[in-house]
Amino acid sequence: MSAVDIRRYLRPDFADLEEYTPVKPLDVLAAEIGVPVDQLVKLDANENLYGPIPEIRDAVSNADLHIYPDPGHEALRIAIADYCGVRPEQVVAGSGADDLIDILIRVTMPEAVVNLPPTFGMYGFLAKISRARVIDVPRKPDFALDLPGIAAAVEQGAGIVFATSPNNPTGNPLSLDEVHALCELDAIIAVDEAYIEFGGETAIPLIAAHSNLVVLRTFSKWAGLAGLRVGYSISAAALADTLMAVKQPYNVNVAGDVAARAALEHRAQIFETVQCIVAERDRLSKLLGEIGWLRPLPSAANFLLCEVIGRPAADVAAALRKQGVLVRYYDRAELRNYIRISAGRPEDTDRLMAALANV
């Protein structure tokens, strides 16, 4: 058969799909920059740089990796339910919160979804893959929600509203009054609490009164399990039943399952590290504010969004990168003058500040 244009067989709308841009692996970045991996300061992906505690590593090393995982995640759902104060039948586990976002869109197949930029890019990306129209309702200048604008978008046919608390990349949390107002709309309200362990007030108690509310969470940030991809949703049991029916049967691998359960069992120990990260975030905010040309925004997450004053933010990120210090820059209109910096360990902050002094 002669060569054919493979695009004939592909969805035509994918030609205009804006790809989600994830951060690169450390070894790739080290090769690009010309800096050894162990000398990189990785403050670009909001990871827990303390890493998983020894008890988690022990649990994974003793797991039966040759056996398929439990498709119902029974033990994991019980442990998550205990942690969140809900019933196990309200819990659905997934391969990171991204998996649950995708499943939620596929079980509802909305005509449109509401996106609240600047925010996490996967909402719009996964919606477009499922052929849903994305209605952007930009945040206010202080990055607060435009509630009337969201209501208008729902009136235009949006079936899901994605709201993050604390929001990534701005760091500001939702109030429970805002969540309640959203839940009064005729749509599924998905509140992504990926960073809730670092600050903000959880919306989980509101699920009892609002069956259209879904709370998404992850073990990637607080527990240091970003590489194992374990997330979960909390919702009314009726919605959870449907999510369970549609998900891939083995969407949480054995290593991720046992690691997540070990994290919950030893959460008091991990929360000591979480408090260290919160303290370092606050220290970092103070130090950055003293520079003069950086304005860190208040944050309830494990990162700071900083306005760059009097110079291009892209140049600042590039100058830090040359010194082996990685921060996040978004080449988008609403964030063009900002960089996002993760809160790491004290030595990571010290390296960052030394690199900033050379910019």
Q: What is the pLDDT of residue 1?
A: 53
326 and 32 Cβ atoms separated by less than 8 Å? no
266 and 55 Cβ atoms separated by less than 8 Å? yes
| Residue spans of beta strands (DSSP E) within 132-180 | 133-136, 158-164
| pLDDT at residue 113 greater than cutoff 60 | yes
Amino acid at 258: V
| pLDDT at residue 54 greater than cutoff 90 | yes
Q: Which of 116, 238, 123 is nearest to 179 (CA)?
A: 116
Burial (0-12, 13-18, 19+ Cβ within 10 Å), 13: exposed
Give the tokens for residue 187.
């749509």
What is the set of domains in the chain, with CATH numbers? 6-51+268-357 (3.90.1150.10), 65-265 (3.40.640.10)
Q: Which of 106, 123, 79 is nearest to 245 (CA)?
A: 106
Distance CA 169, CA 101 (A): 18
Distance CA 331, CA 297 (A): 19
Residue whose pair of structure tokens reads 């030394």 in the numeric block:
354
Q: What is the pLDDT of residue 241?
A: 97
Lowest mean pLDDT among 24-38, 55-69, 74-88, 200-214: 24-38
Distance CA 207, CA 132 (A): 25
Q: What is the pLDDT of residue 2?
A: 63
pTM higher than 0.85: yes
Overall residue count recorded for the chain in this entry: 359
Q: What is the mean pLDDT of residues 285-313?
A: 97
| pLDDT at residue 39 greater than cutoff 90 | no
Q: How far is CA 295 from CA 212, 223, 284, 285, 302, in A?
A: 37, 29, 11, 9, 17
- Residue 113 CA to its chain's centroid (Å): 18
Q: What is the mean pLDDT of residues 20-41?
A: 82
How large a percentage of the chain has pLDDT more than 90? Answer: 87
Which band of pLDDT confidence, cut at 50, 70 and 90, is reported for residue 354? Answer: very high
Q: What is the mean pLDDT of residues 261-268?
A: 98
| pLDDT at residue 60 greater than cutoff 90 | yes
Which residues are CB-contacts of 125 (< 8 A; sequence separation ≥ 6)? 17, 18, 19, 20
24-33, 36-45, 51-60: range with highest mean pLDDT: 51-60
Q: What is the pLDDT of residue 29?
A: 82
Q: Which of 211, 210, 178, 174 is nearest to 194 (CA)?
A: 174
Cα-Cα-Cα-Cα torsion 109, 201, 221, 136, nearest 10 degrees, comes to: 40
Which band of pLDDT confidence, cut at 50, 70 and 90, is reported for residue 31? Answer: confident
Q: What is the pLDDT of residue 343?
A: 97
Which H or E element spans position 331?
A: none
Q: What is the pLDDT of residues 322-341, one digit of tens each?
A: 999 999 999 888 999 999 99
